[in-house]
Chains A and B, each alone.
Chain A
Amino acid sequence: MASLKKIARRSFLIGSAAIVGGVAFGTYKYHQPAPNPLQAKDGRAVLNPFVFVDQSGVTLIAPRAEMGQGVKSTWASLIAEELDVDPSKVTVLHGPAAKAYYNSAMMSEALPGRGYDRSNFQHSLGEVVGHMSKFLDLQVTGGSSSMRDGFERMRVAGATARETLKQAAANELGVDRNQLDTKDGQVISPDGRTLSYADLAQAAAALEPVDADLRPASQWRLIGKDVPRIDMIAKATGTAEFGVDVRLPGMKFAAIKQSPHFGVGKTRFDATVANTMPGVERVLDLGDAVAVVATNTWLAQQAVDAIEVDWEPAPYPETTDAIFDEIARSFEAAPNSTMRDDGDVDSLPADATVIEAEYRLPHLAHATMEPMNATALFTGDALRIWAPNQGPTIVQKSAAALTGLDTDAIDVTTTYLGGGFGRRIETDYIDRAVQVAMQMPGTPVQLTWSREEDMSHDFYRPGAIARYRAAVKDGKALSVHGKIAAQSTTVEGAGRMLGLPMSGPDKGHVDTAFNQPLAIPNFRVEGYLTKPMIPVGFWRSVGASFNGFFSDCILDEMAHAAERDPLEFRLELARAEWEPAAKVLETVRDMSGWTGSTPDGIGRGVALAYSFGTPVAQVIEVADEDGEIRMTKAWIAADLGRVIDPNNTRAQMFGGMVYGLSAACFGEITLDGGAVEQENFPDYDALRMHTMPQVEVALLENQPHMGGAGEPGTPPAAPALANAIFDLTGRRARSLPLMHDFDLVF
């Protein structure tokens, strides 16, 4: 075990962040509170940055992006658990961009090690390292981190607020605080008198916060239970405000045309026609893009479509084939990382059966249902932004660099997000709205991208190639040697997010390849980084989105070569490495009634992937339907250690699986002439009602630490499906999307 100091001194590239320096200013400084962004005024008691109480009641701050994962509700539940309020009777706000709302868990993924083998000491160390996000102002929603981040901190926030309100009541009633009880937003005295939190607010505001112990799990009312989501009524009635729904007095609507070639500008543009079109107010030159401001979005879009632009040529290989040639060339250089190197993969016995396979996965777009958009109002000395975003402090910094304003002069309102999946951690679409607003001082402008603009200007899941050499002998796994090449999301995406150069071994690049919880005696995984070509970024489950496919597909090929049942083969390897991984496999085996054989016309596949702290096993069943392949059933088992809200977690699990299956069947972004060929959903389809399998989800709580929920459902989906199709057809899918090589029902 490296010492804390040594780990702190090192600079690692890990998951989604680089840590430089570190715990040197960590343990001491992170305990100092960050400034509270909520101002106390007019009888409002601001008890801490997450709770305030005034005459209208209790307001909780859930400063994480609500992009469908239910975080607004689950975060509020953590506070409400200790504060003794009913989540449906309080107001829950996202709150402003602020240092106090940093993410303490995401950076802990950055620790070296496989994750599942983390000791308690390392786990605590992870929490310390996580607090470095505060110094980097990382108020970010991502990395399946929200519950791990908020689980303790938010209960403390609730408990402290509760005890402070009780102290105010104790002073008023002249009794000891310990004699008082709390329930449903009220303090109750031993003789049955009640005082509402609202009435105690002013007195509580004058007190020093009172510390409190956290309640034991046996007393929880909300954690571990199905709590109705607080955004559900709004989302069923069209009243939830997404980014595109922001409406301001005097607001104008804008559309944009950006270069189809990434990273370059235009040589000429002619807006003669656009200027004469109905509703058009301004045509704006944004340097490497053009925009039109009009009285409505559609009129702006028609006019921007009518602008003729000549663009500079693409400064990278112009076709998908040429890009993949470049990715393949990365194998010729030295590996960036060898994160696992157990035994000796180079010396295999002569009688071992060797399997060699190359897998190729395409670039992928996020394709959130709500296209990229943002609204901005620039007034010369201040800027207001309304945007569906995953990182408000990053938005603030980027806008400060564009406008020259201090971050204090930039106010960011985070709306609901119509999907995020990692796309909205980027600030490009908000920067564009700021650029437009800067040319329209005093006028609020909403910039909405067309679907075509959205799909062709993404930060894509990198295309990736894996080369595996594996061996089995006497029905056992003997060796796995995997090499993985792609552009680096860590170098490019985390570099953009942190504004720091990234160097060192890139753990995220090989995540879910080197740290699969499998006892394979000879096991080496090497990462190869390809130079930047087209923009790449964080796509639901990041490196695990391709590594889950590579590392599980090779396992299935090994099981077949070893003439073993694929589920039992995995189970044996998992049991010897990490019991919780074995348990998820046993659970899907039992749920699906896995027998190891399937009738004619039916195929079944299994996959296991450990990512973001959570092992997930999936079984998928496919059926031959008049020569076409239909997914009929899916079973998912996941071990999150602690499940905050089972109903919501199940939704994340099957939702993550669907995201992975959609990509596996239909998803690919290809380039020709340096430009993305896919324009809209007909070119980039997804699972729909009639292609969705029936699904059952089991949630386990065997592992000692809390795992993530938003991403771990995605990595096992594609391999489980590919393995099922092999079982049905006898043909291996070593590249995706499946629609190219198999007839799928669509």
Chain B
Amino acid sequence: MSTTLRINGKSHQVDLPEDVPLLWVLRDEIGLTGTKFGCGVAACGACTVHIGGEAVRSCQVALSDVWDDITTIEGIGTPDTLAAVQKAWIANQVAQCGYCQSGQIMQAASLLAENPSPSDADINDAMQGNLCRCGTYPRIRAAIHDAAQMIKEA
């Protein structure tokens, strides 16, 4: 099945069975490897991307079900043009192994878009689907608060 996806503002045409999850289309077909495979069952959040601005687990979205434009970690900011949330992640030295952080950042970016001043309880609610085996949670929390402040001041 030939499908056209709009990812990070660019169009990509792929020819794949319609049930291939978006995660694998991004990673293995288009080469956007910033989005990670962790569990394949929506239990870890490593594959989180935005579809139409909403944070979703790309391992659970079949190619034929993609309903809107897609933004991945590569689309929200680059090493030369960092998004506020990425700047906050770096300032707080959040990452350890770093494997889950693309998903954490995409989830946090979506939280901040909906709620510019999240409380600790809001952060708990929004982030509990994103697993980190290194245990970076305290710094993720601090980075989200910092990013909220940065966005407000910008």
Q: Which residues of A contact B (CB under 8 A)?
A: 67-70, 226, 228-229, 231-242, 244-245, 247, 253, 278-279, 295-299, 367-371, 416-421, 448, 450-451, 647-648, 651, 654-659, 662, 680-682, 686-690, 692, 694-695
Contacts and interface: CB of A to CB of B under 8 A. Distances in A.
A70 B96 contact: yes
B153 interface: no
A244 B136 contact: no
Contact of B131 (A69, A238, A421, A686): A686
Given A233-B90, A689-B141, A298 B20 contact: yes
Interface in B10-50: 16-17, 20-21, 23-24, 27-29, 31-41, 43-44, 46
B73 A369 contact: no
A203 B150 CA distance: 49
A242 B27 CA distance: 12
Contact of A681 (B33, B41, B74, B128): B41
B30 to A, nearest CB: 11
B100 to A, nearest CB: 5
B100 A238 contact: no
A69 B136 CA distance: 12
Contacts of A651: 93, 96, 134, 136, 139
A371 B37 contact: yes
Nearest to A278: B17
Contact of B90 (A236, A421, A658): A236
Most central of B32, B139, B140 by chain A CB within 10 Å: B139
Interface string B86-105: 10011001111111111001
Contact of B138 (A238, A662, A695): A695
A298 B17 CA distance: 11
Contact of A238 (B34, B123, B141): B34
Interface residues of B, number: 62
Contacts of B134: 68, 369, 419, 651, 655, 658-659
A247 B96 contact: no
Contacts of A687: 135, 137
Given A236-B82, A242-B99, 10 more contacts: A70-B96, A238-B72, A296-B20, A299-B17, A369-B36, A416-B97, A651-B139, A680-B43, A689-B124, A689-B141
Contacts, number: 191
B28 A689 contact: no
A658 B39 CA distance: 20
A658 B36 contact: no
B132 interface: yes
B39 A681 contact: yes
B137 A658 contact: yes
Contact of A689 (B27, B78, B137): B137
Contacts of B89: 232, 236
B52 interface: no
A235 B31 CA distance: 17
A69 B97 CA distance: 7
Contacts of A298: 20-21, 23-24, 28
Contacts of A682: 41, 43
Q: Which 6 A-B pairs have the closest CB atoms?
A: A238-B34, A658-B135, A418-B99, A235-B98, A68-B97, A68-B96
Q: Is the interface of B mostly helix, strand, loop or mixed?
A: loop
A278 to B, nearest CB: 5
Contacts of A451: 38-41
Contacts of B32: 238
Nearest to B123: A689
B136 to A, nearest CB: 7
A649 to B, nearest CB: 12
A662 to B, nearest CB: 8
Contacts of B139: 651
6 contacts: A68-B96, A238-B73, A240-B98, A369-B46, A659-B133, A689-B127
A232 B38 contact: no
Contact of A244 (B37, B82, B90, B95): B37
Contacts of A232: 89-90, 93-95
A228 B130 CA distance: 25
A687 B133 CA distance: 8
Contacts of B79: 233-234, 237, 239
Nearest to B44: A681
Given A68-B97, A296-B28, A369-B99, A657 B41 contact: no
Nearest to A237: B79
Contacts of A686: 131, 133
B89 to A, nearest CB: 4
Contact of B44 (A68, A369, A690): A369
A555 to B, nearest CB: 25
Interface in B113-150: 123-125, 127-141
Given A247-B33, A654-B135, A236 B86 contact: yes
Contact of B35 (A238, A421, A659): A238
B99 to A, nearest CB: 3
Contacts of B44: 369, 681
B131 A647 contact: no
Contacts of B40: 450-451, 680
A244 B40 CA distance: 14
Most central of B16, B89, B125, B134 by chain A CB within 10 Å: B134
Contacts of B94: 232, 236
